[in-house]
């Protein structure tokens, strides 16, 4: 999710992509080999690397990522299908990327349909050279790519018509899915097959954005009707001829193994076909119950009698971890390597005002609406996988290594996902390999059939991956004007990327960059930052907005406290701290828009209601919130919420609005009572939404979303809307109670 940022920092040309016939630098190739083990990682072909170093740089239009035929098809009736090079989990990129391509193609938008690519080289992120849906990179990194795909296809269609009509291509024009000129007109569908045999143009002229007809206009998703009517299919809905369904009995403690099991009762359940021990993620071993359908598989698993071997594995305990983390925070950790995290904290001693604070953030489940499901059709010479994967190239490589098949024998059929938030981007390819191991065990037992492995909500909650449990401790010195003289900050949190293929470049001098992102910037504050990364037997993973889920809360609540303590308006105080450079101006524009639209400081609030403000940048987009909130009988009362987003040029305002509103609701969940994953003696104590509560429709406040106008290249919005909401709410509630909120979920009583 951070590859583009990393590569840029290392002056590596991010357009040098393995397996795309492009020129590859040795450092880039070495990184891929070291991180992913050659072909096992992203389905590259190592044997071509040496030849690529000697090959001339490719001309535009010759890379797989620039080939229109891989991304679009046009039927005879003009129906145009545009493939998304990523996975859509509700963020709307299948529509956004289609809009971008259709704009330059001059397609008839009413006849456009969408679909997904696979793990082949055509569908890598063109800026990162790997398959990835994450980091709010989809539109940002593929905006120009999809514009050029559409423009190239249009040029090829016009050229074909010109040859058929024996006229100059310049005399023709294309609009609304038709080529017109020379007194003739041809539907794109009539020209498409011949056009795709044309040479791909080396360069194409792109439209002036002021002439856009589709891009920039509020547009409904192409799949809205299917979703609203229950016709949209997801991984959990996959059906193949002869398919069986499996559920897995997972060990109660991470990494534990089945010792013995009695399958006699399970095998008596009608529809159960097999009960087999299987290898699982993180060295664990469980039992798969395979049946004709989900319900008999589940009933069979319920009837299993399993004895687990939990010896030799750590049994994490939330209470013990909290005590351990508090102790660690008493001493400096590994210094954050960035220069802006170096400061003279000896000035703390002489500071006229001091603020000490400790923050605790729990483990969190991703709680995506659709639990994990993966169908594997394993044959002797091929493997077809049907699932929603955020990293199908990585997953395909891992699957090739597990099965012994060649990368080209693996075929990923990327599905629409019912939510993801990072859960479907597992560096270990956990749920893919678990499903493959079920298929392998079935084949070894003498039966070969497609197998769909389904996780129940309980499986997802109790045996998944989690946002890390994290503790922050801050010691801040400041003067009467709110000028911060020194800030000593320590974070204790598991590393997400230690032991993963990404460790080689995201772990810098012992510090995981996903832990510290969002600290300090964009405020020019003298901060010393250090980090402890304890090893804990709990699997952790990126969770929507990753480090910013906790760093934004810490920064925005502490700055708010200092503003109030020094009798300054929190908005004015933030404006004073922000620089007047290009980056600071983006933050100021976002904050000012939210303030202006909310009526902050001007509108009379109801009794016992208070203003709360927060601002944060993540993944290069800036979001500001102004919330109205208070307490009644110890319970949260939400008023209006105003959000503003600076994501540069906005491709689809309707999607941006939906993403910000959805992010705010997800952030609200993190503040709700009991919204935490806790462990006792190594066992996750929550199992479903009755113990890990989610917001109801009655909890949803009215949220107005405003977009800062900009013509700069677009950034992403899938993640940036989440981080600043909770601190804005906390700042309002601190005014209501006079007490800071430094633990999540909130304790309001």
Q: What is the pLDDT of residues 539-567, one digit of tens each?
A: 999 999 999 999 999 999 999 999 999 99
Q: Angle formed by the axes of helices 653-671 and 725-737, to 10°?
A: 50
Averaged pLDDT score across all residues of the chain:
92
Q: What is the pLDDT of residues 674-683, one digit of tens each?
A: 999 999 999 9
Q: In what order do the strands lie in the sheet with 112-116?
A: 72-74, 80-84, 112-116
Looking at residue 310, what is its pLDDT? Answer: 97
Tell me, what DSSP letter sits at residue 743? B
Q: What is the pLDDT of residues 246-262, one digit of tens each?
A: 999 999 999 999 999 99
At 608, is the secondary structure helix, strand, or coil? coil
> % helix / strand / coil in the chain, to the nearest 5?
35, 20, 40
Strand 527-532 and strand 484-493: pairing?
parallel
CA–CA distance from 550 to each of 17, 423, 470, 743 (Å)? Answer: 34, 18, 8, 10
* pLDDT greater than 70 at residue 324: yes
Mean pLDDT of 561-580: 97
Whether 528 and 343 have beta carbons less than 8 Å apart is answered as yes
Looking at residue 60, what is its pLDDT? Answer: 78
Q: What is the pLDDT of residues 79-132, one digit of tens each?
A: 999 999 999 999 999 999 999 999 999 999 999 999 999 999 999 999 999 999
Q: What is the DSSP string of 675-714?
A: -SB-EETTEE---STTTS----GGGPPPEEEEE----SPP
CA–CA distance from 678 to each of 195, 327, 523 (Å)? Answer: 59, 19, 34
Whether 624 and 552 have beta carbons less than 8 Å apart is answered as no
Q: How confident is the model at residue 505 (pLDDT cuts 50, 70, 90)?
A: confident
Class of domain 64-228: alpha beta
Pick 329-364+466-737's CATH classification: 2.130.10.10, 2.40.50.180, 3.30.365.10, 2.30.30.220. 3.30.365.10
Q: Domain 235-310+372-454, what fold?
A: Aldehyde Oxidoreductase; domain 4 (3.30.365)
* pLDDT greater than 70 at residue 367: yes
Looking at residue 629, what is its pLDDT? Answer: 98
Looking at residue 58, what is its pLDDT? Answer: 58
Looking at residue 55, what is its pLDDT? Answer: 41
Looking at residue 15, what is its pLDDT? Answer: 34
Q: What is the pLDDT of residues 260-281, one digit of tens each?
A: 999 999 999 999 999 999 999 9
Q: Angle formed by the axes of helices 548-565 and 725-737, to 10°?
A: 40
Q: What is the pLDDT of residues 153-166, one digit of tens each?
A: 999 999 999 999 99
Looking at residue 36, what is its pLDDT? Answer: 31
Q: What is the pLDDT of residues 37-62, one digit of tens each?
A: 322 222 222 222 222 233 445 567 88
Q: What is the pLDDT of residues 137-153, one digit of tens each?
A: 999 999 999 999 999 99
Looking at residue 39, what is its pLDDT? Answer: 27
Instruction: Please give the Cα distance from 47 to 39 (Å, whole number).
Output: 10
Looking at residue 14, what is its pLDDT? Answer: 32
Looking at residue 521, what is its pLDDT? Answer: 86
Q: How confident is the model at residue 600 (pLDDT cuts 50, 70, 90)?
A: very high
Looking at residue 529, what is its pLDDT? Answer: 98
Looking at residue 49, what is its pLDDT? Answer: 25
> Which pTM does this prediction carry?
0.92
CATH 3.30.365.10 maps onto the chain at 64-228, 235-310+372-454, 329-364+466-737
Looking at residue 8, what is its pLDDT? Answer: 40
Q: What is the pLDDT of residues 476-490, one digit of tens each?
A: 999 999 999 999 999
Q: What is the DSSP string of 504-556?
A: HHHEETTEEHHHHTTSSTTS---EEEEEE----SS-B---TTTTHHHHHHHHH
Looking at residue 749, what is its pLDDT? Answer: 78
Mean pLDDT of 133-138: 95
Q: How confident is the model at residue 502 (pLDDT cuts 50, 70, 90)?
A: confident
Number of Cβ within a 10 Å radius of residue 411:
15
């Amino acid at each position: 999710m951070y590859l583009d940022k990393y590569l840029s920092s290392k002056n590596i040309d991010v357009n040098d992509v393995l397996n795309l016939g492009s020129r590859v630098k040795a450092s880039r190739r070495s990184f891929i080999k070291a991180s992913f083990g050659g072909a096992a990682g992203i389905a590259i072909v190592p044997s071509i690397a040496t030849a690529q170093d000697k090959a001339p740089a490719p001309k535009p239009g010759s890379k797989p990522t620039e080939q229109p035929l891989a991304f679009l098809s046009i039927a005879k009736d003009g129906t145009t299908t545009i493939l998304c090079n990523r996975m859509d989990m509700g963020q709307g990129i299948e529509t956004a990327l289609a809009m971008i391509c259709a704009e330059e193609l001059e397609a008839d938008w009413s006849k456009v349909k969408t679909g997904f690519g696979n793990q082949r080289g055509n569908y890598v992120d063109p800026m990162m050279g790997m398959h990835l849906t994450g980091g709010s990179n989809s539109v940002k990194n593929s905006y120009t790519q999809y514009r050029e795909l559409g423009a190239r296809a249009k040029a090829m269609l016009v050229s074909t018509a010109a040859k058929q009509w024996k006229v100059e291509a310049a005399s023709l024009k294309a609009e609304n899915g038709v080529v017109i000129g020379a007194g003739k007109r041809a539907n794109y569908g009539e020209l498409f097959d011949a056009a795709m045999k044309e040479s791909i143009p080396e360069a194409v002229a792109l439209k002036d954005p002021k002439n856009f007809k589709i891009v920039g206009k509020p547009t409904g998703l192409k799949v809205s009707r299917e979703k609203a009517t229950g016709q949209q299919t997801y991984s959990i809905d996959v059906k193949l001829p002869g398919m069986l369904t499996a559920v897995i009995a997972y060990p109660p403690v991470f990494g534990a193994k089945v010792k013995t099991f009695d399958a006699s009762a399970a095998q008596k359940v009608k529809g159960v076909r097999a009960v087999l021990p299987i290898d699982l993620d993180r060295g664990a071993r469980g039992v798969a119950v395979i049946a004709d359908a989900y319900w008999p598989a589940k009933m069979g698993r319920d009837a299993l009698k399993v004895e687990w071997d939990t010896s030799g594995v750590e049994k994490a305990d939330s209470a013990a971890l909290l005590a351990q983390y508090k102790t660690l925070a008493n001493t400096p950790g590994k210094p954050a390597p960035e220069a802006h995290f170096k400061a003279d904290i000896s000035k703390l001693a002489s500071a006229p005002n001091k603020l000490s604070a400790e923050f605790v953030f729990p483990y969190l489940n991703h709680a995506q609406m659709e639990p994990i499901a993966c169908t594997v059709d394993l044959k002797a010479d091929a493997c077809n996988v049907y699932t929603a994967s955020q990293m199908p190239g990585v997953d395909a490589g891992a699957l090739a290594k597990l099965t012994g098949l060649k990368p080209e024998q693996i075929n990923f059929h990327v599905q629409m996902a019912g939510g993801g938030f990072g859960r479907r981007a597992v560096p270990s390819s956990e749920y893919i390999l678990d499903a493959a191991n079920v298929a392998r065990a079935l084949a070894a037992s003498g039966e070969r059939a497609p197998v769909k492995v389904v996780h129940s909500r309980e499986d997802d909650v109790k045996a998944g991956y989690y946002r890390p449990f994290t503790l922050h401790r801050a010691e801040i010195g400041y003067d009467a004007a709110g000028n911060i003289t020194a800030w000593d900050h320590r974070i204790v949190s598991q590393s997400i990327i230690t032991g993963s293929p990404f460790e080689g470049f995201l772990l810098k001098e012992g510090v995981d960059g996903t832990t510290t992102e969002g600290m300090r910037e964009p405020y020019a504050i003298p901060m010393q930052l250090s980090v402890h990364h304890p090893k804990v037997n709990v699997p952790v993973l990126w969770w929507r907005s990753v480090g910013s889920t906790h760093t934004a809360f810490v920064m925005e609540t502490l700055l708010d406290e200092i503003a109030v303590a020094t009798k300054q308006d929190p908005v004015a105080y933030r404006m004073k701290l922000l620089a007047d450079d290009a980056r600071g101006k983006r933050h100021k524009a976002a904050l000012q828009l939210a303030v202006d639209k909310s009526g902050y400081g001007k509108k009379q609030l109801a009794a016992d209601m208070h203003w709360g403000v927060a601002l944060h940048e993540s993944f290069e987009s800036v979001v500001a919130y102004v919330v109205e909130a208070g307490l009644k009988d110890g319970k949260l009362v939400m008023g209006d919420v105003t959000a503003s987003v600076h994501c540069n040029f906005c491709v689809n305002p309707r999607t941006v609005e939906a993403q910000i509103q959805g992010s705010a609701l997800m952030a609200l969940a993190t503040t709700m009572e009991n919204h935490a994953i806790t462990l006792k003696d190594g066992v996750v104590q929550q199992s479903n939404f009755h113990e890990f509560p989610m917001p109801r429709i009655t909890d949803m406040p009215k949220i107005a979303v405003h977009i800062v106008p900009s013509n700069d290249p677009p950034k992403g919005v899938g993640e940036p809307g989440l981080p600043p909401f909770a601190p804005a709410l906390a700042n309002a509630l601190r005014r209501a109670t006079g007490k800071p909120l430094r633990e999540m979920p909130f304790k309001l009583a």
